[in-house]
Amino acid sequence: MKRLTITIAVLAAAAVAPPAADASSRQLLIMQDDAQVRSAPGATLAEFADLGADVVKLNLYWDEVAPVGRRKPSGFDGSDPAGYAWGSYDSAVQAILAQGLQPYISLGGHGPRWATHGSGRAGTMNPSAKEFRLFAQAAGRHYADVQIWSIWNEPNLYSWLGPQRSKGTPLSPSIYRGLYLAGYNGLNDGGHRGDTILLGELMPRAGTSPRKVRPLEFLREMACLDRDYRQIRGSAAKKRGCRKVGRFPTSGIAYHPYTPPDGPHVPEGQDDAAIGQLSRLRSTIDALARRGKLPRRLPIWITEFGYQTKPPDPIQGAALKPAAAFMDESEWIAFRNSRVKTYSQYTLIDDLPRPGSGVLRWSSWQAGLRFSDGRKKPYVYDAFRLPVFVRTLSANRVEVFGVRRTLSSGTAQIESQAPGASYRSLGSAQVNQAGYFRRVFKVSGAARRRYRVTLDGISRVKLPVAR
């Protein structure tokens, strides 16, 4: 199993061309399946390790561990870990550490009733930043061995934070600004100064829904900047609580670049960005940095990702074979962006469908590598174990990219098959210390061939695409 302290290695020289100058030669892998990690940590974490995970993410829900009720209990000290019922979170964190993986806790998500205000979804409406700082301090003190954190989940979606808007004015970015800074300071108070603390955990699209805010708009609004990155002033600033908003202290942007079922090349609306539009996210955070709102060259952490599949989900899922191809290409896209620090898979096992029919029945999450009964998904599981992406660069040149995350050395064997012929060897590619390889080959009729890649006893057959 590769270690988190692995140094960045240069990819093996390509036969015709070197790796893209802007590519990241390694990415950490984050895996998340809260239900499985908390209920069956041994088997789940062993499989995570076998798939090459470096980091295991957990959502730590404030309302789940805090005292219940409409009113804050008399004498309750929110900064004292003893006042919370941590339950199976404790055993999960210890099991992650025992497996040699690194735990990553995302704080918040929903607050206790006594720390939220207003009508709407329970736990989401105007959470108290003051109380959240105390909770973050308590969590930091309790989980002293955790070194990676983020604040709140998908704050640009009404089911996690509200209100999102009032008469068209975005409010959730301002609410989140207070929560993030409170959580950051609380973690510092709890002994985690210098840890990795991530901002965002943003969902990738909102369209025109009043119950969401587009992610890039959310980031600008959080920093009190308009579409042209000018300071918001006057009555508009007052509505947003924009007072002396300076630079946000953060280690990176946590992001969930999910795509629609048709994959990474579906066009996204302005200020939305899925994995195919990571350059938009990068441009936005760099523009914020130039205006003193974020650190420069901030890393992008992909902290949730995956493709819902059909089966089981007939409404929002991609068919299994296309889903596997989307997974291959998505990892290639992330690899090519030097600012992407992590890749992610959420989850391992599909949720069970909910009672009811139609959209309601499939409103649970179906992006696991296994079906809910534990069976490996055809095509999908192998695409995650050995992602392979092949694209034509010209009529007679082809790029072959892949990764086997558990390897720190080894050689991928690459073959091609012309129509009506047998497979013939094209050559090999050395993996780097993170298991990645990329090589460009000269081959006649590149677009008409099939390509077979074999590494670590696993073989994948791919048709090339033009990108």
Tell me where in the chain the CATH 3.20.20.80 domain(s) lie.
Answer: 33-304
What is 60-73 written as a DSSP string? EEHHHHSPPSSSPP
Three-state SS across 142-177?
A: HCCCCCEEEECCCCCECCCCECCEECCEECHHHHHH
How many Å apart are CA 430 and CA 13, to the nearest integer? 9
Closest CA to 436 of 298, 310, 333, 335: 335
What is 424-447 written as a DSSP string? EEEEEEE--TTSEEEEEEE-TTGG
In terms of pLDDT, which residue wins out, 118 or 134?
A: 134
What share of the chain in percent tops pLDDT 70? 95
Q: Tell the CATH superfamily of the 33-304 domain.
A: Glycosidases (3.20.20.80)
Note whether 130 and 179 are within 8 A (CB).
no
Residue 25 pLDDT > 90: no
Q: The domain 391-466 is classified under which CATH number: 2.40.50.100, 3.40.1160.10, 3.40.50.2300, 2.60.40.10?
A: 2.60.40.10
Q: Residue 82's CB: how many other CB atoms inside 10 A?
A: 9
Span 25-32, average pLDDT: 90
Question: What sign for the dihedral angle of Cα 60, 255, 205, 210?
Answer: positive
pLDDT value for 158 = 96
Phi, psi torsion values for 255, nearest 5 degrees: -145, 145
pLDDT bin (cut points 50, 70, 90) of residue 15 is: very low
Span 447-457, average pLDDT: 97
Strands 196-202, 169-170: parallel, antiparallel or unpaired by DSSP? unpaired
Helix (H) or strand (E) holding 393: strand 388-394
pTM exceeding 0.85: yes
Tell me where in the chain the CATH 2.60.40.10 domain(s) lie.
Answer: 391-466
Which tens digits make up the pLDDT trace of 283-327? 999 999 999 999 999 999 999 999 999 999 999 999 999 999 999
How many Å apart are CA 368 and CA 298, to the nearest integer? 29
Give the chain's mean pLDDT.
Answer: 93
Which tens digits make up the pLDDT trace of 150-206? 999 999 999 999 999 999 999 999 999 999 999 999 999 999 999 999 999 999 999
Retrieve residue 70's tokens.
């409409």
Residue 13 pLDDT > 50: no
How many Å apart are CA 270 and CA 280, to the nearest integer? 9
Q: Residue 278's CB: how many other CB atoms inside 10 A?
A: 22
Tokens 């760099």, located at residue: 286
Q: Which residues pair with 47 in a beta bridge?
A: none
pLDDT value for 152 = 98
How many Å apart are CA 400 and CA 284, to the nearest integer? 31
Distance in angstroms between the alpha carbons of the first and the last residue of the chain: 33
